[in-house]
Amino acid sequence: MPDRVNVLKTYKTYIDGAFPRTESGRHYKVYDREGNILANACQCSRKDVRRAVVAARGSFPGWSDRTAYNRGQILYRIAEMLETRKGQFTEELERTGYKAKRAVAEVESSIDRLIYYAGWSDKYQQVFGSINPVASSHFNFSLPEPTGVVTIWAPEEQPLLGLVSVIAPVITGGNSCVVLASETYPLSAISFAEVLNSSDVPAGVVNILTGSRTELLDPMTSHMDVNAFFYTNPDIEVQQQKQIDENGALNVKRIIRKPMEDWQDKEAKSPYFITDFQEIKTTWHPVGF
């Protein structure tokens, strides 16, 4: 007999700064690489997507109005919080079948990735904005501005680093997002939500769901209040690709695909990941008088 009864974590979703269960009441089993059951995860429904998009839309004006400097601070804060919980995340990755060394490397890279984007936060507008020469007495300048609500399919493999690599550039640019975690290894994503929740990220800026891609593809890509869809799958079926494109056309969403074999790769981080979710606004300002 053990001395005390195990207290196991219930993995729920993260919507609007809270951890509700899926409204559908459904769950699916999460296994490690050997086929042992690790936990139950929520199998979210289209209604969870709807709630999450409403939350993301509600948080968007406040988040995009923050100063770039403040957003950078908050990104940095997420990294700090993740650093203090390194042990938990390493252990969680190991339980899914990671070797110890690789697990540590993935957690550390995730922290570094957040720092990387925290640094870009108050720079990308300077680098990608421009003052344009025009043939009249106007100042003419162009600036990138956030596109709005972004739905994201996080990568299937590298459940933490992949997740951080897709969320960070989107929120650094002032967008809010609804993320569907890795279907096979969703646990790190929900633990990462706990980190977000203690990092001054306003409620609703990042919402994390777990469940089936096939089932949630339609609501995540067709929703008229979603401005961009971001996915990474290297192995997507032609039929799904077609449906994503058609749904995106309904309200001319940005459909961004970044098939990446390894998120440790040098190519897996870039300021262009930020500008993928920006709209360029050009202003004509009269000079003279």
Partner 1 sequence: MNIPDYSQSPPIDQVGVEERVARLNSRSIKKESKIKALEMALSMVDLTTLEGMDTAGKVIQLCQKAKRPHPYQPDLPTVAAVCVYPRLVSVAEKALRGTSIHVASVATAFPSGMAPLEVKLEETRQAIEDGADEVDMVISRGEFLEGNYNYVFDEIAAVKEIVGKAHLKVILETGELQTYGNIRKASDLAMHAGADFIKTSTGKVKPAATQPVTLVMLEAIRDYYYRTGHMVGMKPAGGIRKAKQAIQYLVLVNETLGGNWLHPDYFRFGASSLTNDLLLQIVKQKTGVYQSLDYFSND
State the residues that interact with partner 1 by CB under 8 A: 50, 53, 219, 222-225, 250-251
81 vs 152 by CB, closer to partner 1: 152
Q: With CA atoms as reference, report the closest residue to 44 among 62, 60, 25.
A: 25
186 vs 219 by CB, closer to partner 1: 219
112 vs 246 by CB, closer to partner 1: 246
- In the sheet with 228-231, reading across from the earlier edge strand, the strands are 206-209, 176-180, 149-153, 228-231, 254-257
In the complex, the smallest distance separating the C-beta of residue 41 from partner 1, rounded to whole angstroms, is 24
In the complex, the smallest distance separating the C-beta of residue 224 from partner 1, rounded to whole angstroms, is 4
263 vs 277 by CB, closer to partner 1: 277
**Can you read off the two tokens belonging to residue 26?**
């459904």
54 vs 203 by CB, closer to partner 1: 54
In this structure, the strands spanning 37-42 and 27-31 are antiparallel
122 vs 279 by CB, closer to partner 1: 279
80 vs 145 by CB, closer to partner 1: 145
In the complex, the smallest distance separating the C-beta of residue 9 from partner 1, rounded to whole angstroms, is 31
In the complex, the smallest distance separating the C-beta of residue 242 from partner 1, rounded to whole angstroms, is 17
* Angle value at C-alpha 121, between 168 and 270, nearest 5 degrees: 55
In the complex, the smallest distance separating the C-beta of residue 62 from partner 1, rounded to whole angstroms, is 17
Per-residue burial over 9-21, b = 16 or more CB atoms within 10 Å of its CB, e = otherwise: eebbbbbbbeeee
The tally of CA atoms less than 13 A away on the side-chain side of residue 1 is 2
67 vs 251 by CB, closer to partner 1: 251
In the complex, the smallest distance separating the C-beta of residue 148 from partner 1, rounded to whole angstroms, is 9
